[in-house]
Amino acid sequence: MQDWEIKTLKEIGFDQEVEETGETFEENAMIKAEAVRAYLRQKGLDYIVVAEDSGLCVDALDGAPGVYTARYAGEHGDYRANIDKLWRELAGKESRTAYYICVLAILYPDDERKVYIGKTEGEIIDEERGANGFAYDVVFYSKELQKTFGEAEDKEKNQISHRARAIKQLVRELEGN
């Protein structure tokens, strides 16, 4: 196994706000990766760049909130308003199936591009349960865990989360190269 040194955006001095103008999680993840790579190349550096975009998709809402997960009700990160809007939009709908998705985009110095997708299936419930996690976790019921992500301990959630599943794919890729 190869040793990897992982650097955060802060460690490389990247503090730009990247506008997510894509219509898909994959497009937004790649936009972020390309912005970081351009920044690194200006500094004469050629690192492997990994970026992600993730969110909640509800089947009865044709995939919404989707790429607008963090700003579903308007203001970015107002999860109280986002959950309230989600419940309003689901009122009267029989199906509550949903999934969290994480798309990791990886850009290699030679311009090779790869994408890894992790999903976690569940359903939206009508009450908040738990105090862990963030955002929609308190209303996202995981059939695998038999509880909401808000009720799950970090260790439990990190075993099956959309991000964990995408990262496991990425790690297998990096270990193979």
For the stretch 106-146, pLDDT in tens is: 999 999 999 999 999 999 999 999 999 889 999 999 999 99
Answer yes or no: is pLDDT of 176 > 60.
yes
Name the phi and psi angles at 141, rounded to 5. -90, 120
Q: Indicate the pLDDT class of residue 173, thresholds 50, 70 and 90.
A: confident
- pLDDT tens across 18-35, in order? 999 999 999 999 999 999
* Mean pLDDT over each residue of the chain, to the nearest integer: 94
Residues 6+ apart with CB under 8 A from 115: 26, 29, 30, 103, 104, 105, 106
As a whole number of angstroms, the distance between CA 16 and CA 14 comes to 6
Given 3, 15, 53, 126, the catalytic residue: 53
- Whether 62 is catalytic is no
Whether pTM exceeds 0.85: yes
CATH of 9-176, one of 3.30.70.1230, 3.30.479.30, 3.50.50.60, 3.90.950.10: 3.90.950.10
- pLDDT tens across 78-115, in order? 999 999 999 999 999 999 999 999 999 999 999 999 99
Q: What is the CA radius of gyration of the chain?
A: 17
